[in-house]
Chain A
Amino acid sequence: MAKIRVLVADDHTVVRKGLKMLLADEDSVEIVGEAADGQEVLDKIPETKPDVVILDISMPKISGIEAAKAIAQQYSSVKSLMFSMHNNQDYILKSVENGASGYLLKDTDKEEIMLALQKVSQGDKYFPPTISSVFVDALLGRSRGRASARGNDDTPLSKLSRKERQILTMIAEGLNSREIADKLGLSIRTVTNHRANMLRKTKVKNTVELVRIAVEEKKS
């Protein structure tokens, strides 16, 4: 049987090293590469050709969730397995919504990591029992706050990240990119990127249109 090719992405060396050592004596698994942030993951996929990417959520540049989304879009044969400290609903659901095939907490033991790698590499989903209950809760609507908090999921604004919404609010208040950059402690380039991404995500022609939608949604 071919080995499962695994790319490990975490901004902490100790975690990458730990995972590598833990999986080193497993004949069915081969660590084909490491990445320290979301961008590096995307850059390394073509050369390393992994079956599964183990992704941390909080990483610099591109977060694990955003990376999972990009992987699902660009490399449909590569599966994302989240490996995170975050044990609550929002991170788990957001990961799954963005194409993750599995979600493990960082205190998971080796057997469970192996099981998850096997399942996910075969094209199945894998969630440990503690996490599965999150889906049931969400289905049963115990998360009323969440549903209404995010508004109608079909609106263009629901596609924006939190940071993007924050920037959009500032644009609506009449701030320019430099002022926004100063206020948020970002570079102008990052703000400009966010603006471009907002237009791409919402498929709206220009920022004026986007601000109009934002203002209307706020009224409703």
Chain B
Amino acid sequence: MITIDRVTRTFDGAVRALDDVSIHVRRGEVFGVVGQSGAGKSTLLRTVNALERPDSGTVTVDGVEVTALQGRRLLEARHRIGMVFQHFNLVSNRTAVENIEFALEAVGRPRSAKRDEALEMLDLVGLAHRADAYPGELSGGQRQRVGIARALASKPDVLLSDEATSALDPDTTRQILALIRRLSRDLGLTVLLITHEMDVVKQVCDSAALLEQGRVVEQGPLLDLVRTKGSRLAHDLFPLGEAPELPGYGVLDLTFAGGEAERPTIAMLARDLGIDVSILGATIETIAGEQAGRTRLAIPGEPGVVERAARFLGEQGVGVEVVSRP
């Protein structure tokens, strides 16, 4: 649905914000781009609706090469791409419903249909009762709902989210993410979001990319990434902390994803190989609709025992990393 192909963007000759970035977002999925501030996420997102023009490379949305568009054709392409912002960017001197009407006017909806359609959008995000409130009278979460309603008023196929929950508290963040998830399913939206919070990726994303100093370090469906040995995203999604120094023990990090997360692998290890395993840490969550997580084990005894355990677990389809040997 969205194909970013070898995009490079340099600011004022010096800072390379995007360096040969290629990303593919499939139709109907929620794709998260993670990275620290200054990694180029914001610039990347803005190339998709041509708020930012790359120096080289192309961006294609639903078969239309956005990077080649100008004037009226560009406005029309933007009608198919909604965008929500970290600071909502609502017109504070106009009411919630008027802010949404603005989006409908932009696509040339007739005056008579405007109000009803705007109210419908507010209803969709659960804010119909606050239609005549000004943004200053709404809470952060409510304002972002208005922002989402405005972005979706033109019935776009794609929603871009620029740190949409970064200015919100954890509770509100969860509600807004759930709303985005629900709308993406109900409306068949393709969502491209950028965030610096791993929790956001965990909660809503099907796929993700890690951006670092303008380069894509890794990308793919979350479950595939979790299964990939040494995946930075998997480590960041399921942090186990620093490995402890344990004399006489070997330490193994296991990664589970999908079906194997539900099998009693560790119990089998203890029973079949007769090893007294200790669990040092574990984290398991539902991502992209499946169970996934990481577990850190301490294995007592000889290096040979640790190797045997690692081999056994590998045969069960679990990702294994040997952190230290006795």
A binds B: no
Give the interface of A toward B (CB within 8 A): none
